[in-house]
Structure 1
Amino acid sequence: MTLRTTLMMMQACGALVFSTVIFAENAANNITQDSYLNDGDNKIKDGSNIELQTLQVQGRALSYYKEDEAALATRTSTPIDKTPQSVQVVTEALIEDQAARQITDLYRSISGMSQNNVSTVTLRGFSQDEVLYDGLKGDPFGDFSIPQLFTIEQIQVLKGPSGAAYGAGEPGGVINYVTKKPAYEQKNTLKVSAGNKDFLSGSIESSGPANEDASQRYRLGIYSDGQDSYRNNVEEENRIIDLGYAWDIDENNTLTVQYTDIHQYISGARLRGIPTDDDGNFLADTSWNNNEKSDFQELDAQVFQTRLDHSINSWLDSNFSVRYFNNTETQKYHESKGLNATDSDKVKREFRDQVRSREGITLVGNLIAELGDHTVLVGSDYFHQKNDFLYDKTTKGVAELSLSNPVYGQDDTSAYDMVPQTNESTTTDQIGLYIQDQWKVTDQLDLLAGARIDRIEEKYDGYKIKTGTTKANYKDTGYSTRLGATYRINDNWKPYTSFSTGFVPQGAVDQQKSADGSLFDPEKSQQIEVGIRSYWLNNKLNVNLAAYHINRENILQDDPGDDNYLVSIGKIRSQGMELDVLADITSRWVANVSYAYNDVKVKEAADGVYFANTPYHQLGLWSRYDFPSIDSSIAFGADYVSQQKNRDDQTVKPYTVYDMSWQTRYEDWKFQLNIKNLFDKEYAVSGFTKNIGSFVGERRRVYISAAYDF
């Protein structure tokens, strides 16, 4: 489907929604404007403080999906309009509207982000797999388990290199999950949900004061779900326990402590793709799965986090945070090894037994000084992580699987003759020092300058069947900078520009593959970004436009003269633009639109792998209309992703999917119906390799939920 066709379909659906809501509004015309603008005994004349019960916000519907302030980009509480780099925030309201249970449900609402491999994403043309929680490193979900959103209040995305604030990381950006904290006001919610494919979930959340003056507060959250899948043999279970405690020790000190326990079990997984031809056509029904029902992926994780906020005096504040996590991810699964050379209906398979264990701790301390027109940040962070990986596999006695008529259960997996492949341990230590100045030069002009130095050490001790036992130790230093400016021409036009850099250290094992014994420099990246944030129609329309150019270099490649060695000659350029629109179409109708254009080119050492899952065009829409007379709302969503390529240069077809939702309130109850993939489209969200195929998008899912506040 072409972009033009998709836009026409979106317009047609939009017209349908518009006609529907106009009809409903006329049917409810017994609600006059005066009564609608009534706030108790006082009539509101200008509508500026309208309270829409469905929205539960004051003011325009636009504020429902818009966040004005975020600390992700600067580590200080900063208005987004004064942040000289693209920052996007997915609010709790938008998460609830879309009935999003995991991050993959929200890609349409983040411009420039699309699915890559299992739980990783592509952001501004680069694979992005590292995330933050409350600005701290330590991902409890690891490499292959998809983050769940039960404990999450917001999702924040900083686009482009983030080295000056957070150290080593991919140049596409960084994703930050803001967790739910203990609340000052009591709120208790019991929620149950059901859907097709035997989906069933239940949760309870309670948060509020623990004593009379609310100086001590608590949070308790318990979540559990289970569901089947359109894919053969797949069942999924999630269970999360989330606890929190906050204490205002005195007027200058607040301590917050959190603990989260996570369990995820997926049978018939690690869930891979379906083989395609070179044009992107599936070679099997989208229910096909190369995994047996006895295959599984299981994650157990625990997270402990604490933060102390301390006000030293009227101009100097500090905060100190600790995050500890550990997780174990066990996988036993069949992996596709490509089509049989003599029978194209049969897929060759191998069986893999893998265990990944991770343990890490992050320490962060910041001093924030308000010195007249300067906000100065000085801080340091330390990150320690140990990864253990144990991997056995076999191809002997593993039955092939038909694409047209798969017969499962042919093998006794316990009888497989497993061959040890990998037994390795990698320990990483990173300490960073950073300084930043936010300077209010005039009422219109704000400047930002930041610099950071990181010292990184990686130790590797392990066995691989191809290389035998290896021990390696690598130390390096990385530098990152950022310069930026925002300018307020007036209340309607707020342009900005920035230059930022980042780096990724080379692995300790890769350092052993230098032909002359010298160390490889870290991968380096730099971005130039210009943008403008604009407001129209009395702040009913917010349009953000950003253009960027990113260079990434020092990428390791096989030595053309001897493939036993590596050379640091790779260079990639990514450039594009992003358009994000939030609009109050009427006082009851709000729309959220995100569009991104991205062009990635390998400038040196051409290698098709870097083009994988980098669509030129992405377009996401979410639009909601409220019916105050019946305390309800209806919403419509669309997601378009243009053609992509997998790692073997096979086509991944473009796709468009549509969603809808209905939400209504009755006294203390909220009922919600969500339909995802409204027209039950068969499509691939991304590609991997020719052997493994393309990852299948979710077919039509219907969810209904009831939440009770007490």
Structure 2
Amino acid sequence: MLSAAATPAQLSAQAASGEAGLERSERAAEEQQADNIIVTGRAQKLYRVETTASTKLPTEPLLSSQNVSVITSELIQDQGARDAQDIYRNISGVSFFSYAGVTARGFRQEEIFFDGLRGDPYAGFSVPQLFNLDRVEFLKGPSGMLYGPGAPGGLFNYVTKKPQDKPFSADVRGIVGNADRIGGSAEVNSSLGGGFAARGGLFYEDRGLFRFNAASRTLIADGGVSWSPGPVTVILQATRYDQELDASRLRGVPTDDDGNFLADRRWNHNEPGDFLNLRSDVLQARIEAEPLPGLTLDATMRYNDATEVQNYHEPRGLFDSDGDGIRDATIREFRDQRRDEESWSFGGNAVYAFDLGGDVGNRVLAGFDHFNGEEIFAGRSLRGRNRVVAGLPSPLSLLDPVYGQSDPATYNQGPFSIFNTDSRRTGFYLLNELTVGPVIITGGIRQDNFHDDSDGIVFEDEATTYRGGIVYRVTDEISLFGHYATSFEPQDPSVQNPLAGGPFAPTAGDIFEGGIKTALMGGRIQSSLSAYQIRRRNILQVDPRGDVGNDGVDDFVAFGEVTSKGIEFDLAADITPDWVLTVAYAHNDTKITGDNGGGGILNRVGDRFANAPKHQLGIWTRYQIPDIGIAAAFGGDYVSEQVSLSGQPVRPFMIFDTSLIYEVGPIRAMLRVDNLFDKTYAVSGFIDRTGHFPGEPRSIFLEVGYAF
């Protein structure tokens, strides 16, 4: 993957409007080559968006007091990205933690929204694919006022592709690569007349993964229709996700206390017959309307039904198998698990914009959302020993793994343990934006009610969150911004037991952030520089006094504070009409600023936090020769040292990627090399018995497409 540091919204945005914007559009049209589809000024025209959806009050990024990173479909295509892990490095302040989870500004963050609503079809251990996405937006910092419960580091909002009322268009692509990689996709969109439009897409890819026994097969079938009778638009969508992952769920590779792998990076703790299979169906309906000038309405309903089944061998502890003093094998546990998830989401917004006279304008946002989700988890497990025993999972060597010494069909695992969790979230919010000349002042409030039921342990509570911001438009191309926002997260229902000291109030977070955004030289140079402080308080920890009530259950206390401070800089520049450069840098320092002296803060490792690098740097550059339809791109990604959950170091790494692109007329071909110098590295760490997650070795693929 190319290490783009660009995030068009974050790097910022729309330059001057009106006549200046029209002149730039005309100039861009003149620059575009008549005999091919290579586009000049990519950073200015393709890597940014006019407005961001994640703020719920559509706003030009240059005029927003919030920091939003946007990865557009054009940027995704330019980088050949396939899944969410391919784009994390595009966002300053975001790094890989595990599976679809990330570290965002020092805090672990896992929840994903689709089209502004809860309801992740990937069920937690499968990584989201990018095929049916128009863009990915990451709203940085606490976002409780807009989205309710969530981690304070930020929030992902995946915006799906929707039917467009435009003339017929189609795109077909095929891909081949090393490790038996093969696949293809097809998309079609067309106006049907009478205000109707339809879109359909199909994606399939079969590839071997670099870990022993591992492979993946992914199928996405996606379709939708829209109808626009006058000022109203109705959109209906349906998507099927089907993913089969062989020899998964993948953990890491064990390491020593210096961060060196104890086995080949291809080592896998799973047997060839292990698997993680996901089937997820999504139905979504949306209505947009403008009944009166200045008044826009929207409402979206989303239904998700997902089933994830896993059979895998979990590493349970390293041991010395031959008495030489070196831990060279691991005991394994076999796990048989099934998760059935069903959820409903609904949300609506009303935006009213009006003038107050002179250069004073006002916009009001009122909205609400509701989520109801139920998960049924069924699981059983059987732990083996440090020697081969019939009917038990066998141990596995790190240096010379031999698979197939035990058969899960012979395991006597006993009955399934079944757990039911029901969660409900409801929120109402109001936001006002006042513009007085070059100054934009924003303030909002939200009230949330939530209900959690975990196998009969019920907890209900409410929370109020706020946000305030200010933007000063220095010129049409430069703005200064600052904001304050709050967030909250309910405690896990499993710890709300009164015998353990519960119920406990949610954790609380807030942010102070300020900076400068630019879109200089008519948008050719886009940049963002910001500094922030995030506090997370009321963190649940083990009570150092133990079982205070002598009721047989150790107590918890909600006491603690973590403070995250950082600086982020992003740049996207059209150096020439044919040469684009993007750079992203993030510095973060997350520390414990209050605890009970007994530890217990999640992800804490001494005074540091797991998988929270202090420094990140991403670069990406592309140079094209329009006369012959050739472009070359090169990128690099640096992440400084991290620590795992067990305190083992995760060594810093710098990897490079490159691609060669041929784009003439309707034909587009891309030859890509990821991890160009085949560096062995770990992207993050977990616990010592499961090791660090290894980065992918050098890989090569060729993608050829034809656009109708």
User: TM over 0.5, yes or no?
Assistant: yes
Q: Does residue 169 of the first structure (1) align with residue 150 of the second (2)?
A: yes
Residue number in structure 2 paired with 1:385: 373
Distance 2:610 2:354 in 1: 47
Distance 1:369 1:537 in 2: 33
Residue number in structure 1 paired with 2:593: 603
Aligned partner (choices 317, 326, 350) of residue 367 of structure 1: 350
- Pair 335,501 (structure 1): closer, same or farther in 2 beyond 3 Å: same
Distance 2:600 2:38 in 1: 51
Aligned partner (choices 275, 278, 291) of residue 254 of structure 2: 275
Amino acid at match of 1:244: G
Give, in angstroms, the shift of residue 492 of structure 1: 3.7
Residue number in structure 2 paired with 1:679: 677
Amino acid at match of 2:88: Y
Residue number in structure 2 paired with 1:445: 439
Distance 2:52 2:245 in 1: 35
5+ residue gaps, structure 2: 5-24, 356-360, 385-391, 548-553
Q: Does residue 122 of the first structure (1) align with residue 125 of the second (2)?
A: no
Aligned partner (choices 448, 451, 473) of residue 458 of structure 2: 473
Amino acid at match of 1:437: N
Give, in angstroms, the shift of residue 607 of structure 1: 4.7
Aligned partner (choices 174, 184, 189) of residue 171 of structure 2: 189
- 1:12-27 equivalence runs, <5 A: none
Aligned partner (choices 584, 590, 594) of residue 574 of structure 2: 584
SS at match of 2:331: strand
Q: Does residue 290 of the first structure (1) align with residue 272 of the second (2)?
A: no
Aligned partner (choices 354, 359, 376) of residue 364 of structure 2: 376
Give, in angstroms, the shift of residue 421 of structure 1: 6.7
> Which shows bigger deviation, 395-404 or 644-653?
395-404
Residue number in structure 2 paired with 1:143: 124
Distance 2:635 2:39 in 1: 22
Amino acid at match of 1:301: S
Distance 2:71 2:649 in 1: 31
SS at match of 1:183: coil
- Pair 125,670 (structure 1): closer, same or farther in 2 beyond 3 Å: same
Q: Does residue 482 of the first structure (1) align with residue 467 of the second (2)?
A: yes
Aligned residues: 654
SS at match of 2:77: helix
Distance 1:46 1:433 in 2: 45
> Which shows bigger deviation, 684-693 or 44-53?
44-53
> Which shows bigger deviation, 116-125 or 531-540?
531-540
Distance 2:634 2:409 in 1: 48
SS at match of 1:111: coil
Note the alpha carbon deviations across 1:660-692, whole angstroms, 9 max, x for none: 111112332111111111111111000000000
> Which shows bigger deviation, 189-198 or 391-400?
391-400
Distance 2:303 2:523 in 1: 42
Amino acid at match of 1:131: I
- 1:237-386 equivalence runs, <5 A: 237-248=217-228, 250-341=229-320, 343=322, 344-372=327-355, 373-386=361-374
- Pair 708,683 (structure 1): closer, same or farther in 2 beyond 3 Å: same
Q: Does residue 459 of the first structure (1) align with residue 453 of the second (2)?
A: yes
Give, in angstroms, the shift of residue 507 of structure 1: 2.5
- 1:95-134 equivalence runs, <5 A: 95-134=76-115
Amino acid at match of 1:448: T
SS at match of 2:645: coil
Aligned partner (choices 513, 534, 540) of residue 529 of structure 1: 513
Distance 2:515 2:450 in 1: 33
SS at match of 1:543: strand
Amino acid at match of 1:219: R
Taking structure 2 as the reference length, what is the TM-score of the superposition?
A: 0.90
Distance 2:242 2:284 in 1: 18
Residue number in structure 2 paired with 1:158: 139
Give, in angstroms, the shift of residue 107 of structure 1: 1.6
Distance 2:591 2:400 in 1: 41
SS at match of 1:299: strand
> Which shows bigger deviation, 144-153 or 664-673?
664-673
Amino acid at match of 1:111: S
Aligned partner (choices 475, 481, 489) of residue 496 of structure 1: 481
Give, in angstroms, the shift of residue 554 of structure 1: 1.0
Give, in angstroms, the shift of residue 542 of structure 1: 1.6
SS at match of 1:309: strand
Q: Does residue 698 of the first structure (1) align with residue 678 of the second (2)?
A: no
- Pair 660,60 (structure 1): closer, same or farther in 2 beyond 3 Å: closer
- Pair 616,45 (structure 1): closer, same or farther in 2 beyond 3 Å: closer
Distance 2:682 2:647 in 1: 15
Distance 2:145 2:522 in 1: 36
5+ residue gaps, structure 1: 1-8, 11-43, 462-470
Give, in angstroms, the shift of residue 592 of structure 1: 1.4
Distance 1:541 1:55 in 2: 23
> Is the contact made by 1:161 and 1:527 (CA closer than 8 Å) also made in structure 2?
yes
Distance 2:69 2:274 in 1: 38
Q: Does residue 223 of the first structure (1) align with residue 207 of the second (2)?
A: no
> Is the contact made by 1:109 and 1:593 (CA closer than 8 Å) also made in structure 2?
no
Give, in angstroms, the shift of residue 381 of structure 1: 0.8
- Pair 699,245 (structure 1): closer, same or farther in 2 beyond 3 Å: same
SS at match of 1:474: strand
Residue number in structure 2 paired with 1:66: 48
- Pair 342,222 (structure 1): closer, same or farther in 2 beyond 3 Å: closer
Note the alpha carbon deviations across 1:461-497, whole angstroms, 9 max, x for none: 1xxxxxxxxx211100011100001111113421100
SS at match of 1:243: strand
> Is the contact made by 1:233 and 1:289 (CA closer than 8 Å) also made in structure 2?
yes
Residue number in structure 1 paired with 2:11: none
Distance 1:59 1:296 in 2: 45
- Pair 175,422 (structure 1): closer, same or farther in 2 beyond 3 Å: same
> Is the contact made by 1:245 and 1:258 (CA closer than 8 Å) also made in structure 2?
yes
Give, in angstroms, the shift of residue 60 of structure 1: 6.2
Note the alpha carbon deviations across 1:418-448, whole angstroms, 9 max, x for none: 1457410100111111000111122x10011
Distance 1:414 1:105 in 2: 37
Taking structure 1 as the reference length, what is the TM-score of the superposition?
A: 0.89
- Pair 620,59 (structure 1): closer, same or farther in 2 beyond 3 Å: closer
- Pair 279,47 (structure 1): closer, same or farther in 2 beyond 3 Å: same
Amino acid at match of 1:271: L
Q: CA RMSD in A?
A: 1.9
Residue number in structure 1 paired with 2:619: 621
Amino acid at match of 1:332: N
Residue number in structure 2 paired with 1:236: 216
Residue number in structure 1 paired with 2:72: 91
Q: Which structure is higher in RCO with an 8 Å CA cutoff and minimum separation 6?
A: 2
Distance 1:643 1:67 in 2: 34
